Amino acid sequence: MASVFCLRNVIFRGTCNVNSTKFLVLKSVANHSRSLSISSINCNDVEFDLVVIGGGSGGLAAAKEATTLGAKVAVLDYVTPSPLGTKWGLGGTCVNVGCIPKKLMHQAALLGESIQDAKSYGWQFPQAENIRHDWETLKDAVQAHIKSVNWVTRVELRDKKVEYINGLGTFVNANTVSATTKQGERTLTAKYFLIAVGGRPRYPDIPGAVEYGVTSDDIFSLQKEPGRTLVVGAGYIGLECAGFLKGLGYDATVMVRSVVLRGFDQQMAHIVTAAMQDRGVNFLFKCKPKKIEKLDNGQLKATWVNEVNEEFTDVFDTVLFAIGRRALTRELKLENAGVKVAGDGEKIDAVNEQSNVPHIYAVGDVLYKKPELTPVAIHAGRLLSRRLFGNGAATMDYDNVATTIFSPLEYGAVGLSEEEAVKRFGEDKVEIYHAYYKPTEFFIPQKNISHCYLKVVAMRDGEQKVLGMHFIGPQAGEVIQGFAAAIKCNLTVNALMGTVGIHPTIAEEFTRINITKRSGKDPNPASCCS
């Protein structure tokens, strides 16, 4: 029995002894139930310990950790230009066309709001009654920051002795990758390969989408100001882009196919939508784009249909598609290495980041049913390198990963949504605490407080283990991060209520929860300090 159990629970680490040619090390890992094929590698013949395909968040983290642990590592990174021709440097999506430029543009939008608030606080702007935003200045500043990060990343790789190859990687076979570079083809062999190729935005299959549309790949470096913009897609990226564009002064419309923020707590999603509408973002609900045409004056005529197939048109300066992302596995020729993709035909369904080919691993956005977030890719990449090249045994925990939508009134969440908790445990087992609150800094400028809301999803029994926390308000990302650590430590409602808050902050509102939805009591606050 024991030996059967062991065989079902092994990861083949294949760590080569320097003097041996063929040597396999087996490591038992609980809960690893995949049946693996045994393959051995002639370790003396390979050029690298690890070849990473994709120099983004996950790939770079894994590569740097591996070299620190003494491994010989190469990273391939290549950016295929977007249909509009946008391309960028080393560092992947987050640095170049994701989190970083997004956060900077979000900050630009918030500053616009702050300028208005500042007047109520006594600041005077005698020279500038009509304050307006200049897109080119912002775009140039954001791009300059990105270039500096690209540069620092290259220097860091050089210092850590990671070989960086600016080339497109494809598998030749399970032990060989070919890199297509400006200088020609280069073949690389390695003991381990890490697929960290991330994804790129999808376009809908409608006339004019690819010719005239843009995506998040283009928006942060758009040469001319975006102007009146139609954002197709009401996920994380669609809402954030529409939010900062409106904040910068552009008319922004979000086209929603089914629901806003599918997969997130839907009560919170409704409040986020209302907060965006309150700031002037338009929403077209239950609509799908049909075609995009270019008018003689350069503007774009968008045609769409609603759920009963009625057709509508309007004219925009920019149409931005944010309808999800495609994992870049097709280009890898995975079939040459025998790596299987998941049921979606694209992503890699790995167990502990290990593909069906034991020495080929994957991290980041390319993984099936894992959160598409930078810290997830980084953490998984680091832990993997520690398992492969150090004495690490820790595996990545993909549960209870916190995230925030910068919409621009932020929505931070960690753990289960109300619907998911009810689905998993049943309505009678779940308790929902909730409250509206008034940020102190909103009083003087008389900002709308009606969307400042929080919710704690917990088990109903005993000390009430917290399953999820949701917060809409300023700095929600900063608020939710600490509570994510508390949830990792098995936070309970008892412990939350026993925590003394920091006054006056908005994070303290979580320590003041006392109203359950079930009680039917009014969750609105009586005063700022009650």
Instruction: Find out whether 169 is annotated in a ligand binding site.
Output: yes
From the list 29-37, 146-154, 317-325, 412-420, the region that binds ligand NA7 by CB under 6 A is 317-325
Q: Does 354 bind ligand FAD (CB under 6 A)?
A: no
Cα 242 to Cα 129, 235, 378: the distances in Å are 26, 11, 28
Please report, in angstroms and rounded to a whole number, the separation of the first and last CA atoms in the chain: 62
Pair of tokens at residue 429: 């087992």
Q: Mark whether 434 is an active-site residue.
A: no
Closest approach of ligand NA7 to the CB of residue 241, in Å: 9
Interface with ligand NA7, residue 214, by CB under 6 A:
no
344 class by beta-carbon count within 10 Å (0-12 exposed, 13-18 middle, 19+ buried): exposed
Nearest CA among 367, 370, 345 for reference residue 355 = 367
Residue 183 in 3-state DSSP?
A: coil
Pick from 135, 236, 244, 406 the residue near ligand NA7 by CB under 6 A: 236
> Does 332 sit near ligand FAD (CB under 6 A)?
yes
Q: Does 450 bind ligand NA7 (CB under 6 A)?
A: no
Hey, which residues does 348 pair with through a beta bridge?
367
- 3-class SS string, 115-149: HHHHHHCCCCCCCCCCCCCCHHHHHHHHHHHHHHH
Q: Partners of 171 in the beta sheet?
A: 177
DSSP secondary structure letters along 421-441 = HHHHH-GGGEEEEEEE---GG
SS3 282: strand
Q: By CB under 6 A, is residue 209 in contact with ligand NA7?
A: no
Site map for ligand FAD, 404-423, x if CB under 6 A? --------------------
Is-contact 219 320, C-beta < 8 A? Answer: yes
Task: Confirm or reject binding of residue 265 to ligand FAD (CB under 6 A).
Answer: no
Neighbours of 345 (CB within 10 A): 9
For ligand FAD, which is the closer residue by CB, 166 or 511?
166
Q: Which residue of 249, 324, 392, 439 would you call a contact of ligand NA7, by CB under 6 A? A: 324
Amino acid at residue number 74: A
Is 337 assigned a ligand-binding role in the annotation?
no
437 touches which of ligand NA7, ligand FAD, none (CB within 5 to 8 A by kind)? none
The reply, when asked if residue 324 is annotated as ligand binding, is: yes
* DSSP-assigned states of every residue in 77-89: ---PPPTT-----
Q: How far is the CB of 85 from ligand FAD (least distance, A)?
A: 15
234 is in an annotated binding site: yes
Instruction: List the single partner that 76 binds among ligand FAD, ligand NA7, none, CB under 5 to 8 Å by kind.
Output: ligand FAD
Place of tokens 């918030």: 110
233 binds ligand NA7 (CB under 6 A): yes
Binding residues for NAD(+): 233-240, 324
Binding site for ligand FAD (CB under 6 A): 53-59, 76-79, 92-94, 97-99, 102, 168-169, 196-198, 216, 237, 328, 331-332, 364-366, 372-375, 377
Q: Specify binding-site residues.
A: 103, 169, 233-240, 324, 365
Catalytic positions are: 503
